[in-house]
Amino acid sequence: MKRRDFFTTSAAAGLALGMTGLAHGAEGPGGKDLYVLCKFSFASPEKLEAYTAFVKEAVPAFNRAGIKPVGVFRLFKEDNPKLEIEADPNELWLLLPNASLASISRLMEDYAWESPAAQAILMAPKDNPAYERFESSLLLAFDGMPKLEVPSSKDTRVVQLRIYESHTIERHLKKVAMFNEGGEIGIFRKTGMNPVFFGQALVGTQLPNLTYMLQFDDTAAMDAAWDAFRSHPDWKVLSQNPEYKDTVSRITNLIMRPLPASQI
Range list of β-strands (E), the chain: 34-41, 71-75, 91-97, 133-141, 158-165, 194-203, 209-216, 250-258
pLDDT digits (tens, 9 = 90+) for 212-263: 999 999 999 999 999 999 999 999 999 999 999 999 999 999 999 999 999 9
Rounded Cα–Cα distance for residues 222 and 219 (Å)? 5
One CATH from 3.30.70.940, 3.40.640.10, 3.30.70.100, 3.30.420.40 for 142-258: 3.30.70.100
Burial class (CB in 10 A: 0-12, 13-18, 19+), 60: middle
Per-residue pLDDT in tens (0 to 9) along the chain, 264 residues: 443 443 344 344 445 545 544 444 455 566 899 999 999 999 999 999 999 999 998 899 889 888 999 999 999 999 999 999 999 999 999 999 976 777 777 777 777 777 787 888 888 999 999 999 999 999 999 999 999 999 988 999 999 999 999 999 999 999 999 999 999 999 999 999 999 999 999 999 999 999 999 999 999 999 999 999 999 999 999 999 999 999 999 999 999 999 999 999
Secondary structure string (H, E, C) spanning 72-109: EEEECHHHCHHHCCCCCCCEEEEEEECCCHHHHHHHHC
Q: Can you give the pTM of this predicted structure? A: 0.88
One CATH from 3.80.30.20, 3.90.650.10, 3.40.50.2300, 3.30.70.100 for 3-140: 3.30.70.100
Residues of the chain with CATH 3.30.70.100: 3-140, 142-258
